[in-house]
Structure formats: C-alpha cells, structure tokens
Amino acid sequence: MAAQHPSSSFPEYFKKLSTTYSRQTGDSTFNLIYSFLQHLPEDVTLNEQSIIHDNAAGPGTATIAAMSVLKKEPAKIVVTDFTQGMIDNIQSRINQEQWRNITASVMDSHELAFADDAFTLTICNVSTSTFKDPLKCVQEMLRTLQPGGVCINSQWKRFTVRDIIHKAQISIRPDSKLFNMPRAEFLNDGVLKDLMLEAGFAKADQYVETTIIRDDAIEGLREFMSGNFTASARSGWTEEEAAMWPAAIDAAIEEEKANYGGIKMEAWMVVARKAGS
C-alpha cells in the first residue's frame, strides 16, 4: 500500500514511511494477504507457473507473502509502486534473497507500462483507496491480465486505527472534527466488489480476512497513530491538549485489547476474474 495520488501530500508521506512500513502497519497488511494466499478459492491458481503483478505494492508486501507461501520463485513477479522509497525497499529484499524472477520499478497504477494480457494474477493489497481514479486503475489491472486471469484486490473492512484515533479525539475534545481516511466508502460492504464489476471483470467474489495485532506489533501501530499521518486529528489543538494524545491512544488500545486480545483488523478480499479461458 502506497499512495498513487500525485496531487496529494501522500507520496511524500509514503516516501518517509517506506523504511518503517512493516513496523508502523503492525504487519497487518502482510498478515492479511499471507493468510488469504494460504487458503485461496479452488479456482484461483498460485504456483510456479504464475506470472504475477504486485500492483501499488508498497515495499512488496504481497510479493513477500506469495514467496512465503510458494517457497520458491514463480515464473515471474513484477512489483510496481508510485513511490521510489517503496521500490528501493523491495529491491533490497530482492538483492538479499537473490531472487532472479522478481523485478521492481516505479510505476503509476493509472497508466501501467505493460502490454495487454501480460499476467495470470494481479494482487492489489490495500491500495485502491489511495488511487486518484480507482476505476481507471482497476481497468488497467483488467487490461494487463490474461484472459481468465485473476485479480485479488483487498481493502480495509475494519480499519481499527481510525476507530482508535476517533476514541482518542473524543476523549480529549468531544467537539473534534473526526479524523478520516481517503475514500472511506471502501470500508462498506460490496463497494470494492462493485468497482471490480464496473471496471469490466466478468466475475467478482468477496471474502473477509481477519488479523489480530499483538505484542510488539502494537508498538509499531502506536507509533503510526502518534505520527505525522494523524496530525490532522489534532489540528487546532492547544499544546496541553496535544500532550494528552499518547495517553488517549494508549487507553483506546487497551480497550481494544480487552475486547479482542489485540487490535483486530479486517479486510475485504475481492477475487475478480477476467473473461476468457
């Protein structure tokens, strides 16, 4: 997940996040796609013959998940993201692991520099909400899939970071303008699935994947919720009010832990198939 919205401040933010992405997401985006790839629907193929596009990949989260499942390289994985820092991150991993069939490059998901019918499988992991034009990006994913190819597209269903931030805001300033996330409509049932069908996919099935963030992984999320990404949640506050933020975040986290044993995150997982054999 990294921003594909050139007109926003997101690219600069994600550039800064690239070196700490795994920690500050509590490994949630990895855990969700890794779990899902381990129990794919029977008609979805992930094997040594797969030709995969990891689109808007952040630091190659879905690629690392796929390699963790396969244990060996498939025919090809192409990793793309709009942010150079994210690509630098996954390129370091490629070099470290000496993966020969995996390449990474900076690319805008709105205009993928691939021929038609290039891939058997595209994965877009928790990134669609960052696109300036989600429909166009999904159409590009469709175009670059082979006939009968599959796109796995995920988006948050329960983005608990937002819920924790809201509780912290209200506890300090009940009149706060609540922090929002880009394109929050994707949290709603069926929105991502409907987008895939609107883009032209012949079929789309929706699933739900859940992860519980525990122990040290929570510390990374705490850092994320206390950092610059959430600065707008404290806009206009006095220094005294802002100083109360860490304790308010901690209290909301403890409430979540009491309910679920950790921070519970859920994602919509949409499996969409291109027409053809």
Domain residue ranges in the chain:
10-159+182-213+263-273
**pLDDT at residue 13, rounded to an integer:** 44
CATH superfamily, domain at 10-159+182-213+263-273: Vaccinia Virus protein VP39 (3.40.50.150)
Beta-bridged to residue 104, according to DSSP, are 79
Q: What's the pTM value of the predicted model, to 2 decimals?
A: 0.91
**How far apart are the C-alpha atoms of 260 and 33, rounded to whole Å?**
20
- pLDDT value at residue 180: 87
**Of the candidates 58, 2, 29, which has an alpha carbon nearest to the alpha carbon of residue 265?**
29
User: Are 61 and 24 spatial neighbours (Cβ–Cβ below 8 Å)?
Assistant: no
Tell me what pLDDT residue 277 has: 74
CA distance 107 to 139: 15
Residue 218, CA distances (Å) to 25, 224, 255, 268 in order: 9, 10, 13, 22
Question: Alpha-carbon distance 217 to 168, whole Å?
Answer: 20
Q: Which helix (H) or strand (E) holds 135?
A: helix 134-143
DSSP bridge partners of 2: none
How many Cα atoms occupy the beta-carbon half-sphere of 138 within 13 Å? 30
Print pLDDT tens along the chain (277 aa).
444 544 344 455 444 554 566 677 888 999 999 999 999 999 999 999 999 999 999 999 999 999 999 999 999 999 999 999 999 999 999 999 999 999 999 999 999 999 999 999 999 999 999 999 999 999 999 999 999 999 999 999 999 999 999 999 999 999 999 998 889 999 999 999 999 999 999 999 999 999 999 998 999 999 889 888 789 999 999 999 999 999 999 999 999 999 999 999 999 999 999 999 7
110-113 long-range Cβ contacts below 8 angstroms, 24+ apart: 110/4, 110/136, 110/137, 110/140, 111/140, 112/53, 112/55, 112/80, 112/140, 112/141, 112/143, 112/144
Tokens 């859920």: give the residue. Answer: 266
User: What's 6-35 look like in SS3?
Assistant: CCCCHHHHHHHHCCCHHHHCCCHHHHHHHH
Beta bridge partners of 212: 264
Token pair recorded at residue 130 = 């960052």
The residues near 185 (Cβ < 8 Å, ≥ 6 apart) are 191
